[in-house]
Amino acid sequence: MTRTNDESYRFFDAERHFSEPDDCWTRHLESRFADRAVHVRREPDGRGNWFFGDRPLTRAREATVDMMIPGSYGLMARGAEERKEPGDGDAIDAFLPEFTNVETFLGVMDEQNVEAALVMGGETLNVPYDLRHDIDAAHANVRAYNRWIEEDWGFARENRVFGVPLMLLFDPAQGVAELQRVLDAGARAVLLNIGPVLGKSPADRAFDHFWSLVNEAAVPVVFHIDYFGYHDFFSSAWGEVAEPTSVAEINAFQWLTCAGMRPMMDMVASLVLHNLFGRYPSVNIMSLSNGSAWIRDLQRLDPFCDAGFPWGQEPSTWWRGGRLSALPSEIIAEHLYVAPFVWDSMEEVFQYVNPARIVMASDYPHPDGFADARDYSVLVKGLEPGDRQGIMRDNLRQLIVRDR
């Protein structure tokens, strides 16, 4: 494919990924947690698995050594490239400099006409749920991981590479302390896993201090597709594998119910109906790699705010976080930023998402995204120039960049 920079501006990419080295959790881990470190054990042939102390992790078990070619599935899913069966040569070294060295990474961004990007991990986003039975060690490992991001990638390196630290709310006090630390260190966005927190909605008042800091800092909270318990909650109830250890063990029914669309729809509904945005009006959230079609279904929340709804509405239970001051659809249109999937139709997305809240996300170098950020033009061609520039640059840039 021949690519050109047809736009007069450079792009702001909401999702690019680095590859994590074996010591990303251990390099900065406090010594008293050494026996409960998230770490890799490798065989002589280089294959390895992730462990938490002596226990193997579940969904994030395999330690990456190679990966599928960037964009190898994404454009085929749109029918833009000839579909082919996987075979020899369809995997590359996951630890090439363009995925592990920030200067080389920036060079690739330049080649792809990317001004700046949110940058985050991959399989490590699936780690936290496995740490839930040892809360102090869980928070210690997350703190160490964030310090690795800060050291190797930076939270705002050259105002171009915005490493996104991982937040954890198992212990609200420790979560707040780490949020304050990364904000003080310059973080412009933070990431939370998708799902309930040890039996509580993330919008529960137990987490108010966390959200008040987010509100004050006006940094977006990113929700990227991950595993944070939905297989544990639902798979076994339907007779499926409760704790799949790799993508190969996840079937189509589990992709539908336990990853991406369903958990993210539940997450947004919880935050909206529990009135998080009414209590903290400067909080914005961003959905990455979860698609967008599920947002259309959230329009069904509006009738629950109608005084004529025939059931429920006991204030103490119906409005746990306080009564909403606007319809859920209006709240979602204001506070939810979304990156459509590679196979989404942008014209359809415009029907149920505020165009000012749509952002481009190449998902580079993952196979289900784009091999090059310039390929995102496939999604935005035919749009008005102002909408196109908003999606490709301005909508996210104004949320993240602090010009000095």
Helix (H, G, I), strand (E, B) or coil at 92: strand
| Span 211-226, pLDDT tens digits | 999 999 999 999 998 8
pLDDT at 404: 47
pLDDT at 400: 96
Q: Is pLDDT at 90 greater than 80 in this prediction?
A: no
Select the more confidently predicted residue: 67 or 330: 330
Taking a C-beta distance cutoff of 8 angstroms, is the pair 128, 172 a contact?
A: no
pLDDT band at 328; cut points 50, 70, 90: very high
Average pLDDT (115-132) is: 93
pLDDT at 394: 97
| Span 68-85, pLDDT tens digits | 888 887 666 666 554 444
Average pLDDT (37-57) is: 92
pLDDT band at 38; cut points 50, 70, 90: very high
pLDDT at 88: 45
Alpha helices per DSSP H over 274-393: 276-279, 293-297, 315-318, 328-335, 346-349, 377-380, 385-389
Task: Give the domains, in start order, of the chain with CATH numbers.
Answer: 11-225+260-400 (3.20.20.140)
- Of 10-14, 205-209, 227-231, the poorest mean pLDDT is in 227-231
Select the more confidently predicted residue: 75 or 24: 24
pLDDT at 246: 74
pLDDT at 261: 85
Mean pLDDT score of the chain: 90
| Span 258-274, pLDDT tens digits | 887 889 999 999 999 99
Q: Is pLDDT at 290 greater than 80 in this prediction?
A: yes
Q: Characterize the bridge pairing of strands 91-93 and 66-68.
A: antiparallel
Residues whose CB is less than 8 angstroms from the CB of residue 151 and which lie 6 or more positions away in sequence, other chains included:
27, 28
Residues whose CB is less than 8 angstroms from the CB of residue 326 and which lie 6 or more positions away in sequence, other chains included:
none
| Span 151-206, pLDDT tens digits | 999 999 999 999 999 999 999 999 999 999 999 999 999 999 999 999 999 999 99
pLDDT at 37: 98
pLDDT at 251: 87
pLDDT at 205: 96
Residue type, 314: E
Q: How many CA atoms lie within 13 A of 336 on its CB side?
A: 30
Q: Is pLDDT at 229 greater than 90 in this prediction?
A: no
Question: CA 357, 290, 211: angle at the middle one, nearest 5?
Answer: 65
Residue carrying the six token digits 């990419």:
13
pLDDT band at 231; cut points 50, 70, 90: confident
pLDDT band at 257; cut points 50, 70, 90: confident
Q: Which of 117, 198, 191 is nearest to 396 (CA)?
A: 117
> What is the share, in percent, of the chain residues with pLDDT greater than 70?
94
CA 315 centroid distance within chain: 33
Average pLDDT (128-148) is: 97
pTM equals 0.93
pLDDT at 330: 97
Select the more confidently predicted residue: 129 or 230: 129
pLDDT at 260: 76
Taking a C-beta distance cutoff of 8 angstroms, is the pair 78, 379 a contact?
A: no
Select the more confidently predicted residue: 87 or 341: 341
Average pLDDT (120-131) is: 91
Select the more confidently predicted residue: 343 or 3: 343
pLDDT band at 56; cut points 50, 70, 90: very high
Select the more confidently predicted residue: 35 or 46: 35
What is the Cα–Cα distance from 68 to 126, expressed in whole angstroms? 19
Q: Is pLDDT at 306 greater than 90 in this prediction?
A: no
Average pLDDT (233-249) is: 82
pLDDT at 5: 60
Residues whose CB is less than 8 angstroms from the CB of residue 232 and which lie 6 or more positions away in sequence, other chains included:
129, 242, 243
pLDDT at 8: 87
